[in-house]
Amino acid sequence: MKKIIHTSNAPEAVGPYSQAVEINGTLYVSGQIPIDPSTGKITDGGIREQTEQVMKNIAAVLKEAGYEFSDVVKSTCLLSDMENFKPMNEVYASYYKNDPPARAAYGVCKLPLGVLVEIETIAVKS
């Protein structure tokens, strides 16, 4: 049975979608952007600060659903500029020190609210 996951420790959805959906031991986390849930505003700073906020938002959703970063099997990273790949990757890597998940990274022409990065995640309970 499908379960909708919601936490006030991650930003509210900016459209008609859920923060995450869990079904059959798999958690699908919607693309997270660098909105600070305590202020509702985009995180100040550049790609490093924005990626850090995105990862904190993902952590909050994972925790709410009873998952951890070690359960993540796939991520998709969207960047408004591929020049930001290396610094985004450095922050991202700090969350996956062992056995990182499969991943794709794409450069896109625009992201919601003009942010620099968006990351979606899939986690599985083993």
pTM strictly above 0.85: yes
> What is the CATH number that goes with domain 3-124?
3.30.1330.40
pLDDT tens-place string over residues 84-109: 999 999 999 999 999 999 999 999 99
| Confidence class for position 14, pLDDT limits 50, 70, 90 | confident
Average pLDDT, the chain: 96
Mean pLDDT of the region 24-44:
96
- Give residue limits of the domains in the chain: 3-124
As a whole number of angstroms, the distance between CA 117 and CA 121 comes to 13
Residues 6+ apart with CB under 8 A from 39: none
Mean pLDDT of the region 30-50:
96
